[in-house]
Structure 1
Amino acid sequence: MRNSSNIAPSAEPSELPPAQPSTRHRTLALSGLAHALHDGYTDAIYVLLPVWRAEFGLDYVALALLRGLYAGAMAALQVPASWLADHMGGRAVLILGTLIAAAGYGLAGFSGGALGLCAALFLAGAGSSVQHPIASSAVSRAYGSAARGPLGTYNFSGDLGKAIIPAALAFGLSFAPWRPSLWLLALAGIVVAGLIAVSMPKIAPAPPPPAQRSAPPRGGNGFPLLLAIGVIDTGVRMGFLTFLPFLLQLKGASQPLIGTALALVFLGGAAGKLVCGWLAQRWGIVGVTLCTEGLTALMIAFAAFLPLAPLLALLPLLGLTLNGTSSVLYGTVPELAPADRTERAFAIFYTGVIGSGALSPLLFGAIGDQAGPVVATLGTAVAALVNLPLALALGPKLARQ
């Protein structure tokens, strides 16, 4: 039965009619390809950090700075990227950002030390900042009121990139030095930018703003609530994943088994991103969010106390609920944003969730230092429960659309 919160958006989110099927499919395919590339670029850094530590003698603070520069540039420039799209057009900015990200990886291959790597990774992060707001908006405008499921597919494509590109890089590093491997990554970015330039349909422009905004934007104050749920959901996910390896160690897991356990979580997470966006379209935003957040809190609590074997069996389902909420939330952004500000809304939303992903491990890490990994893990379960009343408060905002 359909939840009352899953009200189909009014015609306002896309005052232009939805695109033709072939145009929609190409938009989704190429937006997903861009998402896979840029998310793969983001996680490829984890593979490279040990290499750079050995090559340049960097300490852990310097390595954290390299990762932080990339993530910081990507988070901070989401909103400026949406402003740039207003003037240059979304497709042009997506092509330019992809080329800049590729150039950053290419320049990293020429770096002779930490300063060069810092500059190159900042450039790559700046280029990747354009992808989330622009590609998300492209899918949203192409599909109109039917965008929730496709946005879940788009979200899932990022997980594919996170799985494929770092694994391919790690495999390549066993045969070739790291510098040529980075140049190949840069070449992949150039190819993707070329495919977008040649094949991606023009992104529908934002409709002009109404001459007068006498009434509040659609959804009333729903967007701040949605953003708060997204920030907490991301914080729970990153905090739990930070402590999962230590939790597994306490239960006697070996290093290879810890890697397998993480893979089980990520596989379940990819399935959750793919499935939950479509479920929200059928069962309702609030109902699916309550289910995923409630089950996440319950299973994290189980994870803290279960023996190793049952925990391993639980991890795929935990990954599904841990990541599934994100597709529900991303698909709701265009429903709560004014029609002429979709890119801006996505940019603000991604800035919040990426910032939460960077800061939440510090918060839960402080808890872990004081009380241990089990208490810190249980803290993430409590944080997930905070989203239940927020989701209930969001329901009336959606119903008023």
Structure 2
Amino acid sequence: MQNGNVQTAEAANPPLDRAPLNRDWRIIGLIGTGHFLSHFYMLCLAPLFPLWREEFGVSYAVLGLSVALMSGVTALLQTPVGFLVDRHGARPFLVGGTLIMALSISAMALAPNYWVILGLAILSGVGNSVIHPADYAILGSSIGEKRMGRAFAMHTFTGNLGFAAAPLVLGMMTQGLGLGWRPTLLALGLLGVPVVAAILLQSRILQDQARPKKGKTPVGREVLLSRTMLMFFAFFLLSSMAGVGIQSFLIATLDRLWGTPLAVASLALTGYVAGATSGVLLGGWYADRHSRHFTFVTGLTTLSVMLFLAIGLVPLPDAVLPFVAFVAGGALGASRTPRDVMVKNAAPPGQMGKVFGFISSGLPLGGAITPVPFGMMLDHGVPWLVLPTVAALLVASLFCAGTARGGALRAAGRVAPAPLPAE
């Protein structure tokens, strides 16, 4: 009788290595949809700035505070939320965070003035701070190892789609359909309600991390301040700085360097973004089939470095430039999923929330650091420094990844820990 009960329980919730394909993709779909909304909401305010400026009579600098506060609060709270996720489980935080994030956007439709919108932007950032630590904790605990790379890839891919969709959807609703910004935000915010309902209805397939045994693994700040995690944080930070430098300044740099026509430079940036987004899926496929993740990341990042240097040092033909940018973006995008898997392997048991919360906070921090120094290069007449600086940041990120690699391999059980010195 006891054996029968064990078999029944195992059939209902099979081990991850025997988890059915359809269950894994249901989990990926649920988490990916929430991640799409997270990125969508982060970028849905900026397209409304002209309308808000006219209605509320505030400057663009003040309008920019809404996006800055939402992003800043998200980055600041990710690590503390990661501790809570590891302690109490990811599912309630995912549900609550998604609901807060969505309803805050909807509530902006009722705002009597812009200062209320700023307060709601902060509240939405609080909800958004839950997404990365909760998502990665659930994916790492719920998805079979054979599909972990594709799960992480789809997570990144859906977030990128959210960024891409926000300006388009806002433009269609406010300009194409003639809706005011208030009905638009109300409708878009309420999209989060059915997503939360779906997560609740399917919550039984979302597994939380196993709790680590006391005294068996490092905990708390000891984990995050380890050399491995600090190097992974620096890896994410430097990669983000390089990516933001390309996305924000490629068009201006090409104009200053070679007098590239705006249409061609814009097409080159579009090629880079398309390559980075689609390359993520290739990286997920590779991560599930091969174990040499660091070699893959090194090779592709090196290819990107060479291509960015070529764009910055050689006047490429207009017909070739978008293709080169697409390949450079694709190489960087494909390197992201193996990078995430390396971090997952390095995270001690039961501590994926705090690890990903801390390390992924390097992404928005990189976005905050980059614009001013790159803008100064253009303002001071040295545009030739922009793309070599991007290349240098990518090379430095590889150094950080290599330093962290030993810890990732030890966490995955492929390298024995270094022996303690004899006393």
Q: How does 1:130-279 map to 2 (within 5 A)?
A: 130-146=130-146, 147-174=148-175, 175=177, 176-213=179-216, 221-250=227-256, 251-252=258-259, 258-279=265-286
Partner of 1:295: 303
Distance 2:46 2:161 in 1: 16
Q: How far does the alpha carbon of each residue in 1:50-105 deviate from its partner, in whole angstroms, 9 at most, with x for none?
A: 33233333323213322110100111111232233345532221111111111111
Partner of 1:306: 315
Asked whether the 8 Å contact 1:225–1:394 carries over to 2, the reply is yes
Residue 180 (structure 1) shift: 0.7
Query: CA 1:186–1:379 in 2, change beyond 3 Å: closer, same or farther?
Result: same
Residue 257 (structure 1) shift: 5.0
* Percent sequence identity over aligned pairs: 24
Partner of 2:107: 107
1:20 aligns with 2:19: yes
The answer to which of 297-306 and 68-77 deviates more is: 297-306
Asked whether the 8 Å contact 1:91–1:202 carries over to 2, the reply is no
The answer to which of 32-41 and 275-284 deviates more is: 275-284
The answer to which of 124-133 and 57-66 deviates more is: 57-66
Residue 244 (structure 1) shift: 0.9
The Cα RMSD (Å) is 2.5
Partner of 2:71: 71
Residue 237 (structure 1) shift: 0.4
- Partner of 1:201, secondary structure, is helix
Query: CA 1:112–1:296 in 2, change beyond 3 Å: closer, same or farther?
Result: farther
Asked whether the 8 Å contact 2:28–2:139 carries over to 1, the reply is yes
Distance 2:77 2:384 in 1: 36
Residue 338 (structure 1) shift: 0.7
Partner of 1:392: 402
Q: How far does the alpha carbon of each residue in 1:201-241 deviate from its partner, in whole angstroms, 9 at most, with x for none?
A: 35323222223237897xx8433222221111111101121
- Partner of 2:110, secondary structure, is coil
- Partner of 1:340, secondary structure, is coil
1:359 pairs with 363, 369, 377, which one?
A: 369
- Partner of 1:339, secondary structure, is coil
The answer to which of 169-178 and 85-94 deviates more is: 85-94
Asked whether the 8 Å contact 1:108–1:182 carries over to 2, the reply is yes
Distance 1:228 1:270 in 2: 22
TM score, norm. by length of structure 2: 0.83
Query: CA 1:64–1:286 in 2, change beyond 3 Å: closer, same or farther?
Result: same
Query: CA 1:54–1:256 in 2, change beyond 3 Å: closer, same or farther?
Result: farther
Runs of 4+ aligned residues of structure 1 deviating over 4 Å after TM superposition are 16-19, 214-217, 251-259
Equivalenced residues, count: 385
Asked whether the 8 Å contact 2:37–2:192 carries over to 1, the reply is yes
Distance 1:393 1:106 in 2: 44
Partner of 2:353: 343
Partner of 1:62: 62
Q: How far does the alpha carbon of each residue in 1:157-202 deviate from its partner, in whole angstroms, 9 at most, with x for none?
A: 1112222233112111112111111111111111211111122435
Residue 255 (structure 1) shift: 5.1
Query: CA 1:186–1:398 in 2, change beyond 3 Å: closer, same or farther?
Result: closer
Residue 119 (structure 1) shift: 0.8
Residue 353 (structure 1) shift: 2.0
Asked whether the 8 Å contact 1:266–1:319 carries over to 2, the reply is yes
Residue 334 (structure 1) shift: 1.7
TM score, norm. by length of structure 1: 0.88
**Runs of at least 5 residues in structure 1 that lack an aligned partner in the other structure:** 1-15
The answer to which of 224-233 and 279-288 deviates more is: 279-288
Asked whether the 8 Å contact 2:132–2:356 carries over to 1, the reply is yes
**Runs of at least 5 residues in structure 2 that lack an aligned partner in the other structure:** 1-14, 414-423
Asked whether the 8 Å contact 1:19–1:143 carries over to 2, the reply is no
- Partner of 1:108, secondary structure, is helix
Partner amino acid for 2:190? L
Partner amino acid for 2:388? L
Asked whether the 8 Å contact 1:243–1:373 carries over to 2, the reply is no
The answer to which of 108-117 and 330-339 deviates more is: 108-117
Distance 1:319 1:70 in 2: 27
Distance 1:102 1:257 in 2: 37
Partner amino acid for 2:95? I
Distance 1:160 1:366 in 2: 31
Asked whether the 8 Å contact 2:304–2:332 carries over to 1, the reply is yes
Asked whether the 8 Å contact 2:343–2:408 carries over to 1, the reply is no
Larger relative CO (CA 8 A, sep 6+): 1 or 2?
A: 1
Distance 1:274 1:356 in 2: 23
Query: CA 1:214–1:287 in 2, change beyond 3 Å: closer, same or farther?
Result: closer
Residue 38 (structure 1) shift: 0.8
Partner amino acid for 1:138? I
The answer to which of 111-120 and 181-190 deviates more is: 111-120
Partner amino acid for 1:157? T
Partner amino acid for 1:271? S
- Partner of 2:380, secondary structure, is helix
